Structure 1
Amino acid sequence: MLELTDAQIGTWVASFILPLFRVTAVLMTMPVIGTSLVSARIRLYLAVAITVVIVPGLPDMPEVHALDLSALLLIAEQIIIGALLGMSLQLFFQIFVIAGQIVAIQMGMAFASMVDPANGVNVAVVSQFLSMLATLLFLGINGHLVVFEVLTESFATLPVGGGLLIDHFWDLAGRLSWVLGAALLLVLPAITALLVVNIAFGVMTRAAPQLNIFSIGFPLTLVLGLGIFWVTLADILPHYQALASEALQWMRELARAR
């Protein structure tokens, strides 16, 4: 008769449950898969499938007692690590949302907003367009596969029970300035061109005060803004590749991966 001890059962359960929590946390917080467009049930099924595939190649897991406080601490540790990895990519996608909002304000389309189905908040139409473009490009360069690779390597570089490092949180907070700077650099040509247009309208108002600048300037700024935005899209791919490479590399550094 086969007899199993509590330690053996705890080890077998921990070898699957603890990685499952980290994988689930990543899938629940990362872009594309972690949005509300994908139901939570599908994300959970995908997390279980990924965990089943990667568990045989993972390092040995610590022994876990189901009713012990240490088990809850280990679970919380995996959730925090997975959430940090997912949020690091969320910051990358927010670059395009902020960039679209800046351009929309400059061209007078800030009032044209719609509900973002991924996040459930109102964003400018330009921001939604850039967000959809960033999502398609991210899938086109197989960025999601890189995320799964880093996630698998994180179990060796950030082992279960190894504890959390405070610099993980400082790194995530320090990236906020990088997001704002990258968004400004992304739309700097469009902002500069629209600034020249607004200055030209200001000169026209001073030269001909009787000219109703509001009835002429608003539609003209809108049309010129759309044209300038369309022209600047031709050079967005090199910027996207550089930002995506930097974001994925930072995710590797956050996970201490190679």
Structure 2
Amino acid sequence: MEPVLALTDTQISTWVATFMLPMFRIAALLMTMPVIGTTLVPARVRLYLALAITVVVTPALPAMPQVHALDISALLLIAQQIIIGAAMGLSLQLFFQAFVIAGQIVGIQMGMGFASMVDPVNGVSVAVIGQFFTMLVTLLFLAMNGHLVVFEVLIESFTTLPVGDGLIVANFWELVLRLGWVLGASLVLVLPAVTALLVVNIAMGVMTRAAPQLNIFSIGFPLTLVLGMGILWVTLGDILNQYQPLAVDALQWLREMVRAR
């Protein structure tokens, strides 16, 4: 007679908790972080990626708490992992939105605020300059292996912020305070371009006062647009020096949020 494999409820619950709890944190991050968490990547692909990462990293993670798969405590732990992963992803979204806001500010100043297009990442209409800055920061983020740093912080968070820790939302309230950082970073990015365009607008105003018969709308608008494109082209030469401190600040804050080193 062949032996029968007997499994207890405790063993099944332990196996489920070992893979299920980390997967929810990883999946929440992948669903909300930039680049991977956008509408360009199908949800099914993100789910498969989260499952693959979970299978690879689970043997190296600390021991998970023993909970019953259908108990209320397991549901609370799942909610905790979703909150942690989503907060990490939203913190990175704030970093990307700083460049989007910077592009919209420049677009409005140079008269291209009306030129909008559908953003395939977020599914909303944004200014063309903002979409350009979004693609630029995405390429810089991937070229400098920012996604690898995010995955490193994610895996380290299981040690610094283990599953079952009582501080469920530790440091996550600072997400609201980071909104001010986003606005400040946006202004720093576009301050030279905005200052130059402000000088151009003042010059147009002086011309209007000096020659009232001059049709400023037919002359000023295309002139401001051309000068704005030239100013934007010149200021992009220093975009890397502006990107690096902001990226370092965003990734360092991500580490501090999960109490990583």
TM-score computed with the length of structure 1 as normaliser: 0.98
Residue aligning to 2:205: 202
Residue aligning to 1:30: 33
Amino acid paired to 1:174: L
Separation in structure 2 between the aligned mates of residue 165 and residue 75 of structure 1, nearest angstrom: 11
Separation in structure 1 between the aligned mates of residue 173 and residue 53 of structure 2, nearest angstrom: 29
Residue aligning to 2:105: 102
Q: How many residues align?
A: 258
Structure 1 segments of 4+ aligned residues over 6 angstroms from their partners: none
Contact 1:77–1:163 (Cα < 8 Å) also in 2? no
Separation in structure 2 between the aligned mates of residue 155 and residue 12 of structure 1, nearest angstrom: 17
* Cα offsets for 1:152-200 (capped at 9, x unmatched): 0000011101033544232111100000000001000000000000000
Separation in structure 2 between the aligned mates of residue 181 and residue 223 of structure 1, nearest angstrom: 27
Amino acid paired to 1:216: I
**RMSD between aligned residues:** 0.9
Separation in structure 1 between the aligned mates of residue 16 and residue 201 of structure 2, nearest angstrom: 64
Which among 150, 153, 178 is matched to residue 175 of structure 1?
A: 178
Matches within 5 A, 1:155-166: 155-166=158-169
SS of corresponding position for 1:187 = helix
Residue aligning to 1:140: 143
Residue aligning to 1:248: 251
Separation in structure 1 between the aligned mates of residue 104 and residue 167 of structure 2, nearest angstrom: 35
Contact 2:172–2:257 (Cα < 8 Å) also in 1? no
Separation in structure 2 between the aligned mates of residue 151 and residue 250 of structure 1, nearest angstrom: 13
Amino acid paired to 2:222: P
Amino acid paired to 2:255: R
Which among 44, 51, 70 is matched to residue 41 of structure 1?
A: 44
Gaps of 5+ in 2: none
Compute the displacement of 1:37 (Å). 0.2
Compute the displacement of 1:95 (Å). 0.5
Separation in structure 2 between the aligned mates of residue 52 and residue 122 of structure 1, nearest angstrom: 38
SS of corresponding position for 1:35 = coil
Separation in structure 2 between the aligned mates of residue 119 and residue 205 of structure 1, nearest angstrom: 41
TM-score computed with the length of structure 2 as normaliser: 0.97
Compute the displacement of 1:66 (Å). 1.9
Which among 234, 239, 246 is matched to residue 242 of structure 2?
A: 239
Amino acid paired to 1:183: S
Matched, 1:186 2:189: yes
Amino acid paired to 1:18: L
Matched, 1:60 2:69: no
Separation in structure 2 between the aligned mates of residue 166 and residue 18 of structure 1, nearest angstrom: 17
Separation in structure 2 between the aligned mates of residue 167 and residue 257 of structure 1, nearest angstrom: 12
Matched, 1:14 2:8: no
Separation in structure 2 between the aligned mates of residue 214 and residue 164 of structure 1, nearest angstrom: 58
SS of corresponding position for 2:173 = helix
Matches within 5 A, 1:116-131: 116-131=119-134
Residue aligning to 2:220: 217
Identity rate, percent: 76
Of stretches 247-256 and 165-174 in structure 1, the one that deviates more from structure 2 is 165-174
Amino acid paired to 1:74: L
Compute the displacement of 1:247 (Å). 0.4
